[in-house]
């Protein structure tokens, strides 16, 4: 089997965790005699958290002769290799949540987490009906995951009558997010919703506090 994951790059912690988990399970299964009487082999390819490297991984793992692939961690990388696995008849499972991952009806693809659209329904209900926020700012990045989730949250929030006062995008891993936060500060939000990954979310929250923006901060499932 193959493992496609970000072993290096911004999401290396998650990627290495996925790889180690798979190898531990395979080691335990092989100690019991393997699967159908055969030992399981694992091939890992580092997709670096980028679409370009993910496509290379797809071709590399197919050429290795794997029958199934676990990965990738991000929706962008899972999608970049998805058609390659489909064309080769290689099964793929991913925890990517972008709805786009299941819109092509590739029989080889299996999602093991809820899609963005499901998370958005809960998030919108929480912000509008539970917390009763009046002024909601939404930030996404350019990844498949973040854009899909952010757009879904905006759509569901508006359906419930919520007031979206701002939507904007950041470039992931940029480190300095004060320009977009300064714009948001002038709009006086009572909550900032960020649909991207936790590494950027932590920086956004820290810089929000440094700028004295007195608003709650909510992150998505990344």
CATH at residue 186: 3.40.50.2300
Q: Does 183 lie in the same domain as 137?
A: yes
Task: Round to the nearest angstrom and report the end-to-end CA distance of the chain.
Answer: 26
H or E segment to which residue 61 belongs = helix 51-64
Q: Does 160 lie in the same domain as 126?
A: yes
Give the model's pLDDT for residue 102: 87
Domain boundary among 95, 111, 127: 111
Alpha helices (H) along 10-142: 12-31, 51-64, 75-88, 116-125
Give the model's pLDDT for residue 220: 83
Secondary structure (3-state) at 194: strand
Tokens of 163: 């007031």
Region of poorest pLDDT, from 53-62, 85-94, 113-122: 113-122
Secondary structure (3-state) at 70: strand
Q: Does 204 lie in the same domain as 187?
A: yes
Q: Does 105 lie in the same domain as 11?
A: yes
Domain boundary among 77, 111, 145: 111
Q: Does 48 lie in the same domain as 15?
A: yes
> How confident is the model over 2-18, as a mean pLDDT?
94
Domain boundary among 93, 111, 129: 111
Percent residues over pLDDT 90 in the chain: 80
Contact 44, 2 (CB under 8 A): yes
List all residues 6 or more positions away from 116 whose beta carbon is below 8 Å from its beta carbon: 97, 98, 99, 145, 148, 149, 152
Q: Does 134 lie in the same domain as 35?
A: no
What is the count of structural domains for the chain?
A: 2
Give the model's pLDDT for residue 214: 95
Q: What does the mean pLDDT of the chain come to? A: 94
Structural domain including 43 reads 2-111
pLDDT in tens, 138-174: 999 998 889 989 999 999 999 999 999 999 999 988 8
pLDDT in tens, 97-150: 788 888 888 999 998 888 888 889 999 999 999 999 999 999 999 988 899 899
């Amino acid at each position: 089997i193959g493992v496609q994951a970000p072993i290096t790059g911004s999401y290396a912690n998650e990627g290495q965790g996925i790889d180690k988990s798979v190898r531990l399970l395979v080691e335990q299964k092989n100690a019991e005699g393997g699967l159908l009487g055969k030992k399981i082999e694992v091939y890992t390819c580092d997709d670096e958290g980028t679409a370009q490297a993910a496509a290379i991984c797809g071709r590399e793992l197919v050429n290795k002769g794997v029958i199934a692939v676990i990965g990738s961690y991000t929706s962008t990388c899972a999608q970049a290799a998805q058609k390659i696995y489909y064309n080769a008849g290689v099964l793929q499972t991913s925890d990517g949540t972008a709805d786009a991952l299941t819109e092509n009806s590739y029989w080889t693809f299996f999602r093991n987490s809820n899609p963005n659209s499901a998370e958005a329904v809960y998030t919108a209900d929480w912000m509008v009906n539970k917390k009763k926020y009046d002024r909601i700012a939404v930030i996404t990045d350019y990844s498949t995951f973040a854009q899909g989730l952010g757009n879904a949250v905006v759509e569901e929030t508006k359906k419930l009558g919520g007031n979206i006062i701002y939507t904007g995008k950041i470039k992931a891993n940029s480190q300095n997010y004060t320009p977009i936060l300064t714009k948001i500060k002038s709009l006086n939000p009572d909550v900032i919703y960020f649909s991207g990954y936790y590494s950027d979310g932590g920086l956004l929250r820290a810089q929000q506090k440094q700028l004295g923006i007195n608003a709650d901060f909510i992150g998505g499932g990344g």
